[in-house]
Amino acid sequence: MERKKLTGSELLQELSALPGWSLYEGKLHKLFTFPDFVKAFGFMCEVALVAQAMDHHPDWSNAYNRVTIDLVTHDLGGISTFDTELARRIENLLS
């Protein structure tokens, strides 16, 4: 996969195929809610593995059963193909 910043129209098209994801402060953003901390952190372990394998890591936070993920490619100055690919792989973990 080519690693490149998305144009505005590419980004809008990608967003339409990523349910629950939004643009927030220039990042691809989603809040995930789980029954409890155990399920939330199990999800984080899975995301960590997927992210490390891509060598592309989220900005994310957790409070008990909630996990907030923000994706951006700092060195490209915006949202890139790697961010939307990581978002897709994160969605696949939950399907």
- CA distances in angstroms from 89 to 11, 59, 63, 64, 70, listed in the order given: 17, 16, 22, 23, 14
Should residue 93 be labelled a site residue for a copy of itself when binding is judged by CB under 8 A? yes
- CA distances in angstroms from 73 to 22, 24, 63, 80, listed in the order given: 16, 14, 24, 6
Least Å distance, CB 87 to a copy of itself, is 16
Report which residue type is found at 78.
G
Should residue 78 be labelled a site residue for a copy of itself when binding is judged by CB under 8 A? no
Q: Scanning residues 9 to 68, which ones bind a copy of itself (CB under 8 A)?
A: 37-39, 41-46, 48-53, 55, 57-64
Q: Between 81-94 and 37-54, two packed helices, what is the crossing angle to 10 degrees?
A: 140
Least Å distance, CB 9 to a copy of itself, is 28
Least Å distance, CB 12 to a copy of itself, is 26
List of residues contacting a copy of itself (CB under 8 A): 37-39, 41-46, 48-53, 55, 57-64, 93
